[in-house]
Structure 1
Amino acid sequence: MTIFGIGLHVLVAIFFAIHVIRSGQQMYWLMILFMFPGLGSIVYFFAIYLPDSRLNHGARKMVTAAAKSLDPGRELREARDAYAYTPTAQNQMRLATALLEAGNADEAAATYEACLQGPFSGDLEIRYGAARATLASGNAAAAVAHLQTIRNSDANFRGEQVSLLLAQALAAAGRQDEAKAEFEFALGRYNSFAVQAEFAIWAAGAGDAQRANQLHAELQRTMERWARHTRDINQELIRRLNAAMASIRR
């Protein structure tokens, strides 16, 4: 089959050649694609393009979700067994993460705190996990302290996530003026869908209907352009957003 006098297999090879250049792959792929356009394209598709594609990322997420639904406690069981068999700091961190993902916030917080007492006391990733766990367990003040320590150590570490979690922790601690200021900072700095949605949820709960409605209108315009896959990924956040907006319309 030809298009404009060029074989389809050559057009496919050109498509993958563009991907080689844009994604920074090794230049020998160009030689393979143009010397063997048909076979080279097939090899490149399975070796490079598919593993790097959104389709494959989505498939992996679906497989992970399916595995969790079939055996939701598997990772936690394996993490407990690994730590019991080999009580290393790495296995302790894995256990803390598994506990948090399983919803055992109190035990996760205690495990993260134990991790911070050892040689990894300066590890910001562990401290971020501790902040998430302590907030989930209801200890907002401790979460604020962890997040402020992270920011003082490295202002660029997980910038958006730290800012958003700090705003939520401040709100949970009853420091609403500071929470609003942090939400405004995150909105001005990052302006992501997650920041806009969490800010709207907070505003609705704080009785600031005008701000909540303003943010919600912007979010709706964004969601109108979404593919179904993107909507599915953000389903839980959208559910919380809709519940918050419904509460101010009653």
Structure 2
Amino acid sequence: MIFIVASLCLQIVCAVHVIRSGRNQIWLLFIFLFSLLGCFAYLVLEVLPQHWNNRHLRTARAQVAVKVDPERAVRDAERSLDLAETAANYIALGDAQAGRHRYAEAEAAYRKALSLGPGNDWGTQVKLAAVLFERGESAEALRLLDAAPELPRGSEWDRRALLRARILADLGRSAEARALFEDLVERIAGEEARCHYAAFLLQQSDTYRAQAVLEEVERRARRMDRTQRAAQAEMYRWADERLAELRKA
């Protein structure tokens, strides 16, 4: 009896959705004629495709894919290289290895791409600088960044500037790093720059400013939905933990 009632309720919900959304009303026949099977077909063929390209849904799918098969991007890049050893395929392999935090392998792939390319591939050179920084080779990373041509202000300039600020901090050029961080946190969308700045401030023992920055991260995070936060869950967890420690001190 409960199953029949639940089935009827689902049919009514689907039928109302068909009418309100203006879909082909032939679906009403399928829904009421085939019961649950008709509802399932309607949801799969009509409702889900409409939302399949939703940004939040794409993010969720990507997160699930990484958890289920974290090596897929690496395997795909390696298969592409088996077919053709091109600069683009080596860059894809470098991106996949960097995503798995295998910076030595990523460095090798990016260097190979640069050797195969026509030259002046500044985008790949910046990626190489990023993995060199992660490997602790900050001086070489800064040299590569300095060799890249100056860009107009925009998202790519901001991305490079954030990397530069982190490198400068690692090299002990604290005043330069702080000035660059202060500029970036006012302009870059998202909280990555603020979290890196807070980490730098904590290293400098400037707990007052670090707490203010982390509280801003907390305020902004409250406006996000769960999917948006999940995309950088580890970063937000770190921020929450550091802020809790500062508030206890």
Q: TM-score, structure 1 length as denominator?
A: 0.72
What code does the residue aligned with 2:226 have?
A: R
Partner of residue 66, structure 2: 65
Q: CA deviation at 1:78?
A: 4.7
Gaps of 5+ in 1: 1-6, 14-32
Measured against aligned partners, the alpha-carbon deviations of 1:215-234 in whole angstroms (never above 9, x if no partner) come to 11212222233322233222
| One of 77, 102, 119 as aligned partner of 2:100 | 102
Give runs of aligned pairs for residues 140-159 of structure 1, distance below 5 A: 140-150=138-148, 152-153=150-151, 155-156=153-154, 158-159=156-157
Q: CA deviation at 1:44?
A: 6.2
8 Å Cα contact 1:128/1:147 also seen in 2 = yes
Partner of residue 10, structure 2: none
Counterparts of 1:45 and 1:245 in 2: how far apart (Å)? Answer: 42
Q: CA deviation at 1:127?
A: 2.0
Give runs of aligned pairs for residues 13-92 of structure 1, distance below 5 A: 13=22, 36=24, 45-47=47-49, 49-68=50-69, 72-80=70-78, 82-84=80-82, 86-92=84-90
Gaps of 5+ in 2: 1-15, 28-41
Measured against aligned partners, the alpha-carbon deviations of 1:138-163 in whole angstroms (never above 9, x if no partner) come to 11122223334446155436233222
Higher relative contact order (CA 8 A, sep 6+): 2
Structure 1 residues 59 and 101, CA, compared in 2 at 3 Å: closer, same or farther? closer
8 Å Cα contact 1:197/1:241 also seen in 2 = yes
Partner of residue 37, structure 2: none
Counterparts of 2:230 and 2:17 in 1: how far apart (Å)? Answer: 34
Q: TM-score, structure 2 length as denominator?
A: 0.72
8 Å Cα contact 2:87/2:114 also seen in 1 = no
Partner of residue 230, structure 1: 228
Q: CA deviation at 1:247?
A: 6.5
8 Å Cα contact 1:134/1:142 also seen in 2 = yes
**Percent identical residues:** 22
Name the count of aligned residue pairs.
220
What code does the residue aligned with 2:177 have?
A: A
8 Å Cα contact 2:195/2:235 also seen in 1 = yes
Partner of residue 181, structure 2: 183
Structure 1 residues 95 and 12, CA, compared in 2 at 3 Å: closer, same or farther? same
Partner of residue 8, structure 2: none
| One of 15, 21, 46 as aligned partner of 1:12 | 21
Question: Which one has a bigger Cα radius of gyration?
Answer: 2
Counterparts of 1:168 and 1:192 in 2: how far apart (Å)? Answer: 17
